[in-house]
Structure formats: structure tokens, C-alpha cells
């Protein structure tokens, strides 16, 4: 309760000693007492709040609602006439005016005393926080502050009360019904008649603005990603896709130049190199098409329970010619009974890309093993190579972010880094994920985790 200021003159006397004061009950439109205060002014003086806990509102006619500043000229009857926005015309009941403001103002207003306890809360404030006045009046303001921030908020309140500065801020609170609300808070410091400070806090619900800002940020992030993807696509089309055709055209031109002098071993060697370059071009085109279809949502997953051994064996056979040219041994170690819930076409694309990477970074004479198993919760397909390997931190970053890393292979095979991105996006649609471990100089194991066949299909 804010104590009354001592009377210093006739105009400052309490209502019982001043016939110019009137005493009116003040209730809101729903019958509840809302504004519980005593307000009076005299010419050249300021608004004074005596007790927010009183059940009556006493006011002198033509009250000037000014805080901590002097009023303007007075009329012949001595009534205060404010030039500012808080002036009240003659004949208006200040109780009714403040009631209307309290009911209509969307911005919440609360008053806390020096100890931080609520002494007054507006209807708008209660609506924002989802509480009733009786829930908070007389209780400490940290009742509505998220627990992790209560100590800091209390310290800021105490510093402000003692003369510090509080900068308007925005944060999120949670109502009793569990709904999160973003608010913007500002504060002003006043003093009662005894000079004791109290704090008036304004609270604005900015949830709609925050939601719009987040939607705008998400949209901006998507546009930036689309721009990066577009630039990457044009780079691949303009540079990487042309690369495989250079050896094709070069060997064809060489064979034409040599003509009949070309020996059979030479012809077979050139034909093999042409086939290898054409294979790289086809794989790149396949990845570009798959990637573009994923980004326009033209490719949807159709997961079913699939036996994995035939699918993995077919991928190993398809990549066998590349392995033979590099002298790399390929083995499949998967039980015939192993199954997973997956889309066969998408999984084939994923395994083909992982197998291609393993062949690319495994030197001649190395080996690649395709192994499968289950841990009860999911099914794992492991692509294990004896290649050059890499730092585990680098592998974790690549798998987590889909970072496109274009690195030539052990036989200078070209690469774009697009294949791994296609793998990640396809596995996202299949409910799977990629993990891996690698040791420089020893090799890399990439694991495809797939839903167990007993798992219910997703929506």
C-alpha cells in the first residue's frame, strides 16, 4: 500500500476536510472493483496515487492526469487545465474514464512496490498473462517470470527501484495454460508522497509479431538455401558435367588419328577409359536428376518391407566393373533373412553413391565389404573400405551438415560432393540416417540406418 502524502495546504487536504473532493464508488462494467485508488491535484500540482488497494476512487473535478510534471494554466475556478494528452475535460468522471481505459487498453500495466510485490494490475495485463487479479495481488512479481530468470529479474527490479536504468526488453513467458507468449516490457519509476519509489511496468503481447518474424526468417533461410543450391547446380552443369566428356572426346580422337595402326590392346585400353568416363557422366546425371526431383517434391518415398541381400548384391554387381579396373575386391556379407522397411529405388541410389565413394578413395589392391545386421531397434547396412580415410571430426561434420566436399580419388577420379547430399535427403524421407567412423590411412565405414521391418509405416 502506498502511504498518503501529508497535507501541505487547503487544496492538498484529504477529502474529509476539502468540500471540493467527491467520493464515488468505482467498479468496472462486470461489477468488479478494478481501479482502487485515490487521485487528487490542485493547480500546478501532480497526480498522486494514494492506495491501489482502496475500493473507492476519490477525485477532484477536472483532475489533471499528469505524472511528475507541472500542469498548465488554470481556469477561473482554479481547476487544472492540462495541455498534455492526459488532460480531463470538465464534467467527466475520472473514475469512469480510467475504468474505460483499463477495460480497453491492450497493453498491460502493473504496479509493484519497493519489495517487488504487485499492488495493481490492469485487465490487459491479466489477459496477457492468463491470470486473475486475485491470483497475483500482494505476491512477488517473479510469480510470472520463468524460473531460470527469476534471480536476474529480481536483481534488475531492485536496481531499478534504487535509481538504475532498465532498458525495454523482449522475452518469452508461459501462461498457466501452457501457452507461450512473447512480451515486450518497459518500465517507469515514480515516488509516493513519502518519497518511496514504486515501479510501473507496461507489457505488450508481441507474439504475433514474433511468429511473423520467425516465418520471415525461415522463408529467408529457405531462399538462401535455394540460391546456394541453384549456384551449385549451375556450377556442376557448367564444370563438373563437362569434365567426363573431355577424356571421351580425347580418346575417340586419338583412336581416329591412329586408325589402322591402333593395336588391339590399345583399343581395349582406350575403350575402357571411355567407358569409365561415360560411367562418371551417367552417375553425375543420375544424381542431378534425383536431386532436382527431391527439391521439387516430385519424388516421394514408398517404403515397404524389403529383403536386403538381393538389393545390395545387385548394387555390388553394377559397380563391379569399376572395382575390377582398380583391382579392388568387393564382398557382400548379408544374411538372406535380413529385411528393412524402405523404398528399394531410393536405397539403391544411396548404396550406389556410397559404393562409388568407397571405390573412389580406395587404392588399387584394397577391398570393400557390404555388411548388414540389426541391433533390434533399426537395421544397419555398412559400407566398409580400406581406403585413405579421414579425420573423424571432418567425417562427422560432412555427415551432419551434408557439406559438399569435392576431392579427387586415388586415381584422380572427379567428384562433386553431390552424391552424399542426395543420400542424406533420401534417407530423411525414408526415416533413416547416416553415421560413420574413419581413421586416416586405414579406411572408412559408412552405416545406413533404416527402420526395422516391424516398425509401423510413417504417415
| Angular region, 140: left φ>0, alpha ψ -120 to 50, beta rest | beta
CATH code of domain 105-205 = 3.30.450.20
* 3-class DSSP string for 349-393: HHHHHHHHHHHHCCCCCCEEEEEEEECCCEEEEEEEECCCCCCHH
* Residue 447 pLDDT greater than 90, yes or no: yes
Domain positions in the chain: 1-101, 105-205, 300-459
Per-residue pLDDT tens over the stretch 233-282: 776 666 566 667 777 888 888 888 888 888 888 888 888 888 877 877 78
Comparing 152-166, 179-193, 224-238, the range with the smallest average pLDDT is 224-238
* Percent over 70 (pLDDT), the chain: 72
The class that CATH gives domain 300-459 is: alpha beta
* Per-residue CA distances from 46 to 42, 70, 190 (Å): 8, 6, 12
Per-residue pLDDT tens over the stretch 310-320: 999 988 988 88
- How much is the mean pLDDT over the chain? 75
The tally of CA atoms less than 13 A away on the side-chain side of residue 88 is 23
Taking residue 313's Cβ as centre, other Cβ atoms within 10 Å add up to: 13
Helix extents (H) in 236-391: 245-258, 264-295, 308-318, 320-326, 344-360
CA angle 335, 422, 354 (to 5 degrees): 40
Taking residue 323's Cβ as centre, other Cβ atoms within 10 Å add up to: 19
Backbone angles phi, psi at 158, to 5 degrees: -65, -40
398's enclosing H/E stretch is helix 392-401
Kindly state the cell numbers that stand for 12: 492538498
- Tell me the range of 103-117, 123-137, 405-419, 445-459 where mean pLDDT is highest: 123-137
DSSP state of 118: E
- Provide the pLDDT for residue 275: 82
Comparing 119-128, 239-248, 423-432, the range with the smallest average pLDDT is 239-248
What are residue 435's DSSP bridge partners? 447
173's enclosing H/E stretch is strand 169-174
* Residue 39 pLDDT greater than 60, yes or no: no
Residue 84 pLDDT level (bands cut at 50, 70, 90): very low
Sequence-separated (6 or more) residues with CB below 8 Å from residue 348: 311, 314, 315
Kindly state the cell numbers that stand for 374: 540389426
What's the rounded Cα separation, in Å, for the pair 289 and 277?
A: 18
User: Could you tell me if 401 and 390 are in contact, meaning their C-beta atoms sit under 8 angstroms apart?
Assistant: no
* Residue 146 pLDDT greater than 70, yes or no: yes
* Residue 186 pLDDT greater than 80, yes or no: yes
Amino acid at each position: 500500500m502506498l502511504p498518503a502524502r501529508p497535507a501541505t495546504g487547503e487544496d492538498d487536504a484529504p477529502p474529509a476536510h476539502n468540500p471540493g473532493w467527491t467520493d464515488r464508488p468505482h467498479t468496472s462494467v462486470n461489477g468488479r472493483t478494478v481501479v482502487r485508488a485515490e487521485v487528487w491535484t490542485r493547480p500546478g500540482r501532480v497526480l498522486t496515487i494514494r492506495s491501489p488497494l482502496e475500493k473507492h476512487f476519490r477525485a477532484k473535478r477536472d483532475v489533471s492526469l499528469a505524472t511528475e510534471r507541472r500542469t498548465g494554466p488554470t481556469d477561473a475556478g482554479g481547476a487544472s487545465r492540462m495541455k498534455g494528452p492526459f488532460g480531463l475535460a470538465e464534467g467527466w468522471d475520472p473514475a469512469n474514464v480510467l475504468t474505460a481505459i483499463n477495460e480497453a487498453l491492450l497493453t498491460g500495466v502493473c504496479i509493484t512496490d519497493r519489495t517487488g510485490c504487485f499492488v495493481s494490475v490492469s485487465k490487459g495485463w491479466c489477459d496477457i498473462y492468463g491470470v486473475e487479479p486475485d491470483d497475483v495481488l500482494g505476491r512477488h512479481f517473479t510469480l510470472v517470470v520463468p524460473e531460470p530468470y527469476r534471480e536476474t529479474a529480481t536483481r534488475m527490479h531492485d536496481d531499478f527501484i534504487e535509481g538504475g536504468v532498465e532498458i525495454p526488453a523482449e522475452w518469452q513467458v508461459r501462461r498457466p495454460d501452457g501457452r507461450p507468449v512473447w512480451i515486450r516490457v518497459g518500465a517507469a519509476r515514480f515516488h509516493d508522497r513519502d518519497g518511496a519509489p514504486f515501479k510501473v511496468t507496461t507489457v505488450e503481447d508481441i507474439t504475433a509479431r514474433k511468429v511473423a518474424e520467425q516465418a520471415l526468417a525461415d522463408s529467408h533461410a529457405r531462399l538462401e538455401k535455394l540460391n546456394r543450391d541453384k549456384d551449385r547446380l549451375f556450377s556442376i552443369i557448367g564444370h563438373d558435367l563437362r569434365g567426363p566428356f573431355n577424356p571421351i572426346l580425347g580418346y575417340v580422337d586419338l583412336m581416329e588419328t591412329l586408325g589402322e595402326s591402333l593395336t588391339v590392346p590399345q583399343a581395349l585400353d582406350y575403350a575402357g577409359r571411355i567407358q569409365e568416363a561415360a560411367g562418371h557422366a551417367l552417375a553425375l546425371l543420375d544424381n542431378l536428376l534425383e536431386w532436382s526431383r527431391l527439391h521439387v517434391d516430385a519424388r516421394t518415398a514408398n517404403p515397404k518391407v524389403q529383403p536386403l541381400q538381393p538389393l545390395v548384391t545387385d548394387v555390388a554387381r553394377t559397380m563391379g566393373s569399376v572395382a575390377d579396373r582398380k583391382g579392388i575386391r568387393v564382398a557382400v556379407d548379408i544374411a538372406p533373412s535380413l529385411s528393412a522397411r524402405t523404398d528399394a529405388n531410393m536405397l539403391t541410389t544411396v548404396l550406389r553413391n556410397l559404393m562409388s565413394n568407397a571405390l573412389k578413395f580406395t587404392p588399387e589392391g584394397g577391398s570393400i565389404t557390404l555388411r548388414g545386421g540389426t541391433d533390434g531397434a533399426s537395421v544397419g547396412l555398412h559400407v566398409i573400405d580400406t581406403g585413405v580415410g579421414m579425420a573423424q571430426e571432418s567425417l562427422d561434420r560432412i555427415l551432419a551438415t551434408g557439406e559438399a566436399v569435392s576431392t579427387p580419388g586415388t586415381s584422380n577420379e572427379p567428384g562433386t560432393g553431390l552424391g552424399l547430399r542426395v543420400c542424406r535427403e533420401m534417407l530423411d524421407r525414408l526415416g533413416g540416417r547416416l553415421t560413420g567412423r574413419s581413421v586416416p590411412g586405414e579406411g572408412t565405414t559408412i552405416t545406413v540406418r533404416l527402420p526395422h521391418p516391424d516398425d509401423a509405416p510413417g504417415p
